[in-house]
Amino acid sequence: MFAIMSLKFAWVVAILTVLVTLPFTCARAVLEERDDNLPARVPYVFPPPGTDALADDIRSRRDGGVLLDLDGILLNDENLATAWNGLASMIRGQNTIPADMRELFILRTGVLNEAAYVWLQHESVARSGQHFAPQLNPTNPLNASQNAAMLMADFMTKNVNVPQNVFDGLKKFLSNKQMVDAVATVGTYNLVARFVEALDIDSKANVPVPTPQ
């Protein structure tokens, strides 16, 4: 009896939560066109909605259902776009590491690669989720797990070779599965950063990363 009542209560809370957050979700969708639609080094391929299953699938995981300039470049090669969509969906949506650590990895890797495009895409994600991210709040010092994560991102990105003590430092806070996801996150965003830089996506290759001062 008690269990049934609390189950009902959970439903009421869930429905109320959806009702309360719906206007914000919709408002955010309007703001979602984050690219400037400036040229890249190859043309963008943007199939109109309803004409291309893969493009529609990518739209479905983008806030506001709008393809990014990154997607327009990927769609030059459907097989690449399919594989990329699978990896990116996992890293963004099914990652087992804490969300604040995920966004820290992404922004840090973007900064180290001087990839303004990555920073501009993710700064709003980090802010809206209230996830701590390096340089979003320079007055807020990193705590122990964030420090360990930052060191991991720095060694993976700048040195490639990761010293055992740097790995062990982060392992104190994460399971084996999370360590694999952590390394995959930094690795994936090194790929993303180099991809957007070399193809000058949204003409951002030579734009300085706008980190807050």
Ligand X SMILES: *[C@@H]1O[C@H](CO)[C@@H](O)[C@H](O)[C@H]1NC(C)=O
In sign, the C-alpha dihedral spanning 145, 149, 150, 151 is: positive
Nearer to ligand X, 146 or 185 (CB): 146
HEC states along 61-128?
A: HCHHHCCCHHHHHHCCCHHHHHHHHHHHHHHHHCCCCCHHHHHHHHHHHHHHCCCHHHHHHHHHHHHH
**In whole angstroms, how close is the CB of 144 to ligand X at the nearest point?**
4
Residue choice 113, 146, 157, 188 for contact with ligand X (CB under 6 A): 146
The Cα diameter of the chain in Å comes to 64
**In whole angstroms, how close is the CB of 106 to ligand X at the nearest point?**
15
For ligand X, the binding residues in 55-94 under the rule CB under 6 A are: none
Nearer to ligand X, 133 or 199 (CB): 133
Span near ligand X by CB under 6 A; candidates 85-93, 142-150, 151-159, 196-204:
142-150
d(CA 67, CA 89): 14
**In whole angstroms, how close is the CB of 150 to ligand X at the nearest point?**
12
- Looking at this protein, which amino acid is placed at residue 200? D
Chain mean position to CA 79: 21
**In whole angstroms, how close is the CB of 95 to ligand X at the nearest point?**
14
Span near ligand X by CB under 6 A; candidates 41-49, 74-82, 83-91, 140-148:
140-148
Span near ligand X by CB under 6 A; candidates 62-70, 109-117, 141-149, 185-193:
141-149
For ligand X, the binding residues in 174-203 under the rule CB under 6 A are: none
d(CA 188, CA 113): 13
Q: Report if residue 145 touches ligand X, rule: CB under 6 A.
A: yes
d(CA 44, CA 46): 6
Could you identify the residue written with the tokens 């996801």? Answer: 181
Residue choice 117, 132, 189, 195 for contact with ligand X (CB under 6 A): 132
d(CA 127, CA 119): 12
Residues in the chain: 213
**In whole angstroms, how close is the CB of 66 to ligand X at the nearest point?**
30
Q: What is the contact mask toward ligand X in residues 95 to 124, using x (rule: CB under 6 A)?
A: ---x-x------------------------
Contact positions toward ligand X, by CB under 6 A? 98, 100, 132, 143-146
